[in-house]
Amino acid sequence: MDRFSDRRIIVTGAGSGIGQATVHRLLHEGGSVVACDVSASGLAGTTAEAEQVGAGDRLTTAVLDISDEAAVASTVDAAVARLGGLDVLVNAAAIQRCAHTHEHTLDDWNTILAVNLTGTFLMTRRALPALCDSGRGVVVNFTSTSATFAHPYMSAYAASKGGILAFTHCLALEYAHRGLRAINIQPGGVSTALALSTLDKMPQDYDLGLWAKQTPILRQADGSVLGEPAHVASVIAMAASDDGAFITGTEIRIDGGAHA
C-alpha cells in the first residue's frame, strides 16, 4: 500500500513504542514525516531504522518537550515549512507515574497533565491552521483504555487521557466543516516501554488483583499476551488515510479484547 505518498505528517513520542512504530508504518506507506520526541537517542534509533529500509530521506527529527509552548510553536512551524504543509498530526507522546491517589504529589499530577493533556493541546492548536488548509487534515490522539475503564493507582494519567478524549470530540465537531477529522486511539495491553514498566511504578503495597480486567484475551502466535506497537500503528495508518475518511469524533480501542 502507498496511502501516504502525498501526505505530510508530524508524529510525537516518535522515539519509542507506538509513536516510533507509527513513524515507520507511515514511512513504509510513502509518507513524509517529522518525528518529535524528548529523547535524542530515541530519535536516533528511529532514524537508523528508517535509513536501513531506504526511507531516511523522507524523515526529519526534532527533539521536543511538548509541554513547552514556545518550543512547540517553533518546532511545528519549522515542520510545516519543511513539509510544505501538514495533513496528519499524531499525538503519541505521553508519560506515566503511579501512586495511591491520596499520596499523589501535586508536582506529579501537574507534570503528567502538562505533558499528556496540555502537550496534546499545544501541538494541536499550533498545527490546526495548516491541517485545515490541507482540506483533509487528521488529528490522531491517544486516550488509552484508562480514559473509559478504571486503572488503579493511575488517577493523574487517567485524568489526562479522559481530558484528551473530550478534547478530541470537540475538535471533530468544531472543525468538521474544514474537512478535519479527529480520532481517539485507545491502546491497552501493548508491549511498550511505558506499559511494561507500569508495575514497577506501583506503590509498594499495591493490589495486583485490581488489574485482572486489564489482561488481553487474545494471544499472539508465540503465545505472548501483549500486543505489539505495530498492531496499533497499522490501525492509525488506516484511520489517518482515505480508508478512514468517514471516521471522526470517535474512539478505536486496540486492547486484545481486555475490555470485551
**135-176 confidence digits (pLDDT tens):** 999 999 999 898 999 889 999 999 999 999 999 999 999 999
Residue 153 annotated to the active site = no
User: CA-to-CA distance for 125 and 72, rounded, in angstroms?
Assistant: 10
pLDDT at 207 over 90: no
User: CA-to-CA distance for 259 and 216, rounded, in angstroms?
Assistant: 8
User: Tell me: the pLDDT tens digits for 177-197?
Assistant: 999 999 999 998 888 877 777
User: What average pLDDT does the segment 45-59 reach?
Assistant: 97
Which of 153, 157, 175, 206 does the annotation list as catalytic?
Answer: 157
Q: Which region holds residue 34: left if phi is over 0, alpha if psi is between -120 and 50, else beta?
A: beta
Cα four-point dihedral sign 192, 232, 89, 161? negative
Instruction: Tell me if 112 sits within 8 A of 64, measured CB to CB.
Output: no
Whether residue 2 is contained in a domain is answered as no
Write down the pTM of the prediction: 0.95
Closest CA to 233 of 20, 12, 9: 20
C-alpha cell at 179: 474537512
Whether residue 259 is contained in a domain is answered as no
Q: How far apart are the first and last CA of the chain?
A: 30
Whether residue 133 is contained in a domain is answered as yes
Cell 487474545 locates to 218
| Structural domains of the chain, count | 1
Whether residue 215 is contained in a domain is answered as yes
According to DSSP, residue 105 is labeled -
User: Tell me: the pLDDT tens digits for 56-103?
Assistant: 999 999 999 999 999 999 999 999 999 999 999 999 999 999 999 999
Q: Residue 30: which domain range?
A: 8-254
Whether residue 218 is contained in a domain is answered as yes
C-alpha cell at 101: 491517589
Whether residue 50 is contained in a domain is answered as yes
Closest CA to 201 of 116, 117, 104: 104
Amino acid 105 reads T
Q: What is the CATH number of the domain that holds 204?
A: 3.40.50.720
